[in-house]
Amino acid sequence: MALIAVAVFGGAFRSEPLPFEVHEVSVISAQDYAALSTPRPPAREEPDPEPASVPAPEPEPDPEPEPAPEPVLPEPVVEPAEPEAEQDPAPVVAPEPPAIRPVERVAPEPVQTPSEEAQPDVVEQPEVVLDQGADEPREQQQATAPEAAVDRIVTEAEQTDALAPLQSPRPPRVRPERPRPVATPPEPETPAPAPDTSEAVNAALTEALGGGDPVSDAPSGPPLTSGEKDGLRVAVSRCWNVGSLSSDALNTTVVVAVSLTQDGKPIADSIRMTSSSGGNDGSARDAFGAARRAIIRCGSSGFDLPAEKYGQWREIEMTFNPERMRIK
């Protein structure tokens, strides 16, 4: 069907060819290419110089030699890496933590006492010639501790964090499901409780809001958004210079009340300290002085506050907490 469709409608979708870049090339035949590549040594006739662990190169039809696989091969140069790691006294910077296993310092098996036959043989032995196929003569070794033994005792507290798994091998497969409400069948005999619910909701909200008369003396109008409050906070912070305050004043938090005009300017006479904590009267006075300067200086041209919410910011209480500004 697809072929038929192409045959029938193929011509209908012809479009202008996209522009492309053209490079001149020369084409040679396979024989010519073989002649050009004759100096290349045959791949399979010669013995492989690589160790047995290296996979034998496959007969590649591609004439271009590609050295890319070499770094991937398991080269026999792996062994020197171990002494290098031992020479490095700083396991923190090593890419891999030292392979210290929490094993006993003393080998679990005692070293065997050399047998009496291990004494030098005084009997002269005729010189023998090893067979060609015989193994290399091995030096006799004493029984040693198993490989698990180490020369250091590493307590659990001394182990590096790198030895710990990055994450639990047994992560929770799924999040625990929330308890689902049990579906209760509709009760046809239940009367409609709408009026009672609204009263209860109102009562709950009223209680949560502090109770009392909903028509309180709270400022009217919509509240300031977090962004508007942050803007005011940043504006005052820019002028709150604590550089010349004493250490005691830097330990004193003052709460300063201020009234603002409708254009956002602080009324200087209204600035007063309502409370302080963390210092004596003198340090509170100095801390208040710095706070008052900050309010007056940065409010001299009016704080950027929404005029329609004047009822909300007409009176402001600013807490100047210098905890982060103390001499560290």
Partner 1 sequence: MIRILTGLLIAAALFPASLMAQDGPLRIEITEGVIEPLPFAVPGFVPDTPEAADTARQLTQVIAADLTGTGLFREIPSSAYISQITDFAAPVQYADWKAVNAQALITGAVGVSGGKLTVRFRVYDVFSGAELGNGLQFAGGIDGWRRMAHKVADAVYSRITGEGGYFDSRVVFVSESGPKNDRRKRLAIMDYDGANVQYLTDSSSIVLAPRFSPTGDRVLYTSYESGFPRIYVLDVGNVKRRVLQQTDGTMSFAPRFAPDGRTVLFSLEQGGNTDLYALEIASGRQTRLTNAPSIETAPSFSPDGKRIVFESDRSGSPQLYVMRASGGEANRISFGQGRYGTPVWSPRGDLIAFTKQNKGRFHIGVMRVDGSEERLLTASFLDEGPTWAPNGRVIMFTRETQGEGGRASLYSVDITGRNLKPVRTPDGSSDPSWSPLQN
Q: Please give the residue ranges that form the binding site for partner 1 (CB under 8 A).
A: 181, 193, 197, 200-201, 204-205, 207-210, 216, 218-219, 223-224, 226, 229, 232-233, 236-249, 257, 268, 282-283, 285-286, 289, 291-294, 296-297, 300, 312-325, 327-328
Task: Tell me whether residue 36 or residue 218 sits nearer to partner 1 (CB atom).
Answer: 218
Task: Tell me whether residue 74 or residue 282 sits nearer to partner 1 (CB atom).
Answer: 282
Smallest gap from residue 243 Cβ to partner 1 (A): 4
Task: Tell me whether residue 149 or residue 297 sits nearer to partner 1 (CB atom).
Answer: 297
Task: Tell me whether residue 40 or residue 272 sits nearer to partner 1 (CB atom).
Answer: 272
Task: Tell me whether residue 56 or residue 218 sits nearer to partner 1 (CB atom).
Answer: 218
Smallest gap from residue 213 Cβ to partner 1 (A): 12
Of the candidates 245, 255, 252, 327, the one whose C-alpha atom is nearest the C-alpha of residue 284 is: 252
Smallest gap from residue 291 Cβ to partner 1 (A): 8
Of the candidates 263, 282, 261, the one whose C-alpha atom is nearest the C-alpha of residue 273 is: 282
Task: Tell me whether residue 43 or residue 201 sits nearer to partner 1 (CB atom).
Answer: 201
312 CB neighbour count, 10 Å cutoff: 19
Of all helices (H) and strands (E), which one includes residue 318?
strand 315-320
Smallest gap from residue 204 Cβ to partner 1 (A): 5
Smallest gap from residue 314 Cβ to partner 1 (A): 8
257 CB neighbour count, 10 Å cutoff: 14
Half-sphere exposure of 146 (CA within 13 A, CB side): 7
Whole-number Cα distances in Å, 232 to 87, 115, 156, 274, 287: 59, 91, 53, 20, 20
> What are the phi and psi torsion angles at 260 (to 5°)?
-115, 150
Task: Tell me whether residue 144 or residue 321 sits nearer to partner 1 (CB atom).
Answer: 321
Whole-number Cα distances in Å, 5 to 9, 14, 17: 6, 14, 21
Smallest gap from residue 87 Cβ to partner 1 (A): 23
Smallest gap from residue 239 Cβ to partner 1 (A): 8
Whole-angstrom distance, CA of residue 130 vs CA of residue 151: 39
Structure tokens at 33: 């290419």
> What are the phi and psi torsion angles at 254 (to 5°)?
-120, 145
